[in-house]
Amino acid sequence: MANYSEQIKLAHGGGGSLMQELIHREIVPALDNTSLRQLADSARLEAPGSTLAFTTDSFVVQPLFFPGGDIGTLAVCGTVNDLAARGAKPLALSLAMIIEEGLPLEILQKILHSVGESARQANVNVVTGDTKVVERGQAGQIFLTTSGVGIMRDGLDFTPDRIEPDDVLIINGSIGDHGIAVMSVREHLQFASPVQSDVAPLAEMVQIVLDACGNKIKCMKDPTRGGLASNLNEMAQLVGFILEEEKLPIRKEVLAACDMLGLDVLTVANEGKMIFAVAPDAAQKTLDALHSHPLGRNADVIGRADQRAGLVRLNTHIGGQRILDTPYGEELPRIC
């Protein structure tokens, strides 16, 4: 287990085991309640007449603009996708901005434009907000925090404890694109065709899958910080998973960049991907539903659940097997 630290480190924000430790040792005990303890992508709330999903995320990505998106796109899609992972249809978003004094108005305008565009694409409104300004050098130009409220489907939840051995793992497309798109700007990497972030709002695509397959969909998760490795480990509560390396959809530029940067693509963040754990008899129907949507066109089966609870394994190209651990911290700081 990770060493416990008396000061906050960058790695505490990395979506890995050090962050899990901070959450379990400090945050959950201080704020203790049943909903929080679930630690799902969004919380479930009972309101008179409906069940709601509620989620929040802060965005501190550097640089603010990258191929395929910017901090504004990310802030909308990240929150929409956390609602989608709980099967919820987005009802409304909030947007809180912490802006650094001296930020050119033009940059703020571009970011607000992206927020508006992404919200329209996700068919949801930003209905409330807040603006704070802090002194120069105190907020990496701009930080955004979005929260979202969604309406959950009657009687359907998608928590990891529903996954059974032999359930099939499906993802809606290639992995690692977002992290590498951001890193390529930061590290001045050149590609023949530049890697674009996959940032996209997935709620509509998820609703199509749920309309087709209902409770045959056992669990969903959007593998952002910590990538597939971290998120599959979080899903591996009562089951384990076996992934097939040759089935993993990875662009060759992404793989090349990972090699160059010494990164494991399985720990790199995605912002437009959803992992589905699906009953075996609904796998084809899930794929069909995904293929009918532009954001699911490249969906494929990448592995399956087995009985070795808590263990995520990868069958490699060359016939070996390796264990995919939760990464410790963050190999890629400020990726979202």
Return the residues of window 89-128 that contact a copy of itself according to CB under 8 A.
91-92, 94-106, 108-109, 112-113, 115-116, 119, 125-128
Binding of residue 297 to a copy of itself (CB under 8 A): no
Binding of residue 333 to a copy of itself (CB under 8 A): yes
φ, ψ for residue 232 (rounded to 5)? Answer: -70, -35
Give 101 or 161: the residue with its C-beta nearer to a copy of itself. Answer: 101
Q: Residues 126, 128, 131, CA angle at the centre, nearest 5°?
A: 110
Q: Say how far apart CA 178 and CA 156 lie, in whole Å.
A: 30
Q: How many CB atoms lie within 10 A of CB 159?
A: 15
Secondary structure of residue 97 in the 3-state scheme: strand
Binding of residue 3 to a copy of itself (CB under 8 A): no
Q: Please give the full DSSP string across 15-69, using - where no structure is assigned.
A: SSHHHHHHIIIIIHHHT--HHHHH--SSEEEEETTEEEEEEEEEE--SSSEETTE
Binding of residue 156 to a copy of itself (CB under 8 A): no
Element (H or E) spanning 289, and its range? Answer: helix 283-291
Task: Answer for the pair 158, 275: CB distance below 8 angstroms, yes or no.
Answer: no
Q: Residue 96 CB, nearest distance to a copy of itself (Å)?
A: 4
Binding of residue 157 to a copy of itself (CB under 8 A): no
Binding of residue 77 to a copy of itself (CB under 8 A): no
Reading across the β-sheet that carries 126-134, which strands appear in turn? 43-47, 50-59, 142-151, 89-100, 126-134
Binds a copy of itself (CB under 8 A): choice among 67, 129, 160, 194: 129
Give 128 or 298: the residue with its C-beta nearer to a copy of itself. Answer: 128
Binding of residue 81 to a copy of itself (CB under 8 A): no
Binding of residue 269 to a copy of itself (CB under 8 A): no
Binding of residue 132 to a copy of itself (CB under 8 A): yes
Residue with token string 């930061």: 186
Residue with token string 């309309």: 211
Binds a copy of itself (CB under 8 A): choice among 24, 63, 123, 134: 134
Give 58 or 121: the residue with its C-beta nearer to a copy of itself. Answer: 58
Residue with token string 């704020």: 31
Stretch that binds a copy of itself, among 16-24, 198-206, 268-276, 295-303 (CB under 8 A): 16-24
Binding of residue 63 to a copy of itself (CB under 8 A): no
- HSE-up of residue 53 (Cα within 13 Å, Cβ side): 33
Binding of residue 1 to a copy of itself (CB under 8 A): no
Give 151 or 301: the residue with its C-beta nearer to a copy of itself. Answer: 151
Give 102 or 280: the residue with its C-beta nearer to a copy of itself. Answer: 102
Give 72 or 176: the residue with its C-beta nearer to a copy of itself. Answer: 72
Give 167 or 331: the residue with its C-beta nearer to a copy of itself. Answer: 331
Q: Residue 88 CB, nearest distance to a copy of itself (Å)?
A: 11
Q: Say how far apart CA 71 and CA 153 lie, in whole Å.
A: 30
Q: Say how far apart CA 11 and CA 53 lie, in whole Å.
A: 28
Task: Answer for the pair 67, 195: CB distance below 8 angstroms, yes or no.
Answer: yes
Binding of residue 137 to a copy of itself (CB under 8 A): yes
Residues 20-49 that bind a copy of itself (CB under 8 A): 22-23, 26-27, 30-33, 35-36, 40, 42-43, 45, 47-49
Q: Residue 104 CB, nearest distance to a copy of itself (Å)?
A: 6
